[in-house]
Amino acid sequence: MPKVSVKVKWGKEMYPGVEVNTDDDPVVFKAQIFALTGVQPERQKVVCKGVTLRDDDWGNFKLTNNALVLVMGSKEEDVPSVPVEQTRFVEDMNESELATALDLPEGLINLGNTCYMNATVQCLKTVPELKNALLNYDKSSGGGSAGDLTIALSETMSALERGGAGACAGAAARLLRALHAAAPRFAERGPGGGLAQQDASECWTEIVRALQQRLPAAPAMPQTSNDRSNVIEQYFGGTLDVELVCSEADEPPTKSKETFLQLSCFISQDVKYLQSGLRSKMSEQITKMSQTLGRDAVYTKTCKISRLPAYLTVQFVRFYYKEKESINAKILKDVKFPLDLDVYELCSPELQERLAPMRAKFKELDDAAVESSLTTKNKNQGDSRKEIKNKTVVPYWFENDVGSNNSGYYRLQAVLTHRGRSSSSGHYVAWVARGDTWLRCDDDTVTPVTQDEVLKLSGGGDWHCAYLLLYGPRVLQLPTVEEPMESDPPAEPSGDPPTALA
């Protein structure tokens, strides 16, 4: 009888009728307890008939209908602490602050060193095309462990959209179980028996690999084409033109193409900015077998981007293996990254030529904005009055390649950070953009932050520093301007919001 209904007692509180599915891992039950009591799973001691529940299996912990389950443990907020800042009461908030305070998205609870997974999910959730594909995923399509992981991520996205701590806790537990099945290394245990901390970049790669196998590409839009088979390749996949030139022999250059789902920013003593780290990786010295010399020789490998994805993932290569301590040690160096990124210089001449028309439109709009700001003082002087009725949203992809980037301009929309000295310890957090605001998603705690706080995540100390960056396409919105005739009276505002034309 896998499903039973039990009574959960925590302190003086009694919660009857809690349904438990013993086919699920015990961590799912602990997630339900967290949703009821607010006690984090790692702080819980769950006892029934003298037997303590473990995290990894039910063992001798036998549940029957109407059994009494005792929960011991305190919420973190029960521990007295000195407030960092003065409490703001709802009555004292303005309209904007109130909207921010009451309309925060749901977080994901930490099921025991699962912050790496929670941060990854929150960053990927910022890609609307990926989120919608997951929400509409056919859960009956099968697909083994990759299919199960895709289904679990689909359910997690649905739970985050609906809200509710209980639903999100259960979805996160199922996602963790699917991740363990797809990549058993994530189920490793630490010295104390609890789940070991894992690398968020490896989790990101594993999830993306599963989605690449199971999530079909969006259908081509009218007057467009799409030859990519899945959403990941469509919106995250780029292409490199690669040229190899031997430095030790007179060989003809070797040209080829490579694909990528993310770019790497290697951190050296000279790298102080993201752009220089990316640029240095595009031209490097490698050693390979020379057919002319019959031995290994030094080659110069030059890469140019020939296809830009709509969403550009960048990894800061911050960890390296330290043999003496047998850990992946962390490079704490401060490397600045921008909110707006231009990768034009990294592109091939052919792609640069294709990017030129959209870049010209952005320049025209930016120049108009500068001119408008200079003439703001005269905006109420008679003939110069203009009224913006609508905005036309221009597609950010090439007509024959849905999911590409047709300008080379990007805007930062998510940062995954790590705090600590090694990839197998510390803590991961997601910082995501929602409109003009930024949110810090620290497991189940979601709080608004400023852009300045996000830009301070560049490293240089023991505070959180950027590990993965996710840039989305900068979207061009052209205003539709109407200039009323001098004899016309000013138009009355309609009260309708501006419309966006796809």
Structure tokens belonging to residue 218: 């969006």
Q: Tokens 């985050």 map to which residue?
A: 160
Residue type, 284: E
Distance (Å, whole) CA 301 – CA 306: 16
Contact between residue 402 and residue 226 where contact means Cβ atoms under 8 Å apart: yes
Strands 327-330, 319-322: parallel, antiparallel or unpaired by DSSP? antiparallel
Taking CA atoms, 263 is separated from 168, 412, 472, in Å, by 31, 15, 14
- Read off the DSSP letter of residue 65: T
Q: Cα–Cα distance between 246 and 23 in angstroms, integer?
A: 59
Do the beta carbons of residue 156 and residue 211 sit within 8 Å?
no
Q: Could you tell me if residue 45 is left (phi over 0), alpha (psi between -120 and 50 degrees) or otherwise beta? A: beta
Catalytic residue among 168, 303, 418, 427: 427
Of 39, 109, 111, 35, nearest to 74 (Cα)?
39
CB 331 within 8 A of CB 319: yes
The C-alpha atoms of residue 18 and residue 7 are separated, in whole angstroms, by 6
Under 8 Å between Cβ of 408 and 359: yes
Longest CA–CA span in the chain (Å) reads: 88
Residue 263 CA to residue 350 CA, distance in Å, equals 20
Measured CA to CA, the distance from residue 205 to residue 227 in angstroms comes to 23
Q: Tokens 């594993």: give the residue.
A: 206
Q: Is 277 helix (H, G, I), strand (E, B) or coil?
A: helix
Whether residue 427 lies in the annotated active site: yes
Q: Clarify whether 203 is annotated catalytic.
A: no
Burial of 172 (0-12, 13-18, 19+ CB in 10 A): buried
Among 48, 115, 303, 465, the active-site one is 115
Pairing of strands 3-10, 68-72: parallel
Q: At 77, list the tokens.
A: 């907020």
Sign, CA torsion 330/335/341/342: negative
Order of strands across the sheet that contains 238-246: 254-260, 238-246, 295-307, 283-290
**Residues known to be catalytic:** 115, 427
